Amino acid sequence: MEAYIDSNYEGSMSDRRSTAGYYIFLCENLLVWMSKKESVISWSNVREEFRATTLGTCELLCMKNLFYYKSS
CA 24 and chain centroid, separation: 9
Round to the nearest angstrom and report the end-to-end CA distance of the chain: 17
Query: Looking at per-residue confidence, does 55 or 71 come out higher?
Result: 55
**Tens digit of pLDDT for each residue in 3-52?**
888 887 766 667 777 788 889 898 889 988 888 877 777 676 777 788 88
Task: State the DSSP H helix or E strand holding residue 29, giving kind and residue range, or none if neither.
Answer: strand 29-37
Q: What is the pLDDT of residue 42?
A: 64
Furthest CA-CA distance within the chain: 50
* Confidence band, pLDDT 50/70/90 cuts, at residue 71: low
Do the Cβ atoms of 20 and 58 come closer than 8 Å?
A: no
Which residue, 32, 16, 17, is CA-closest to 67?
Answer: 32
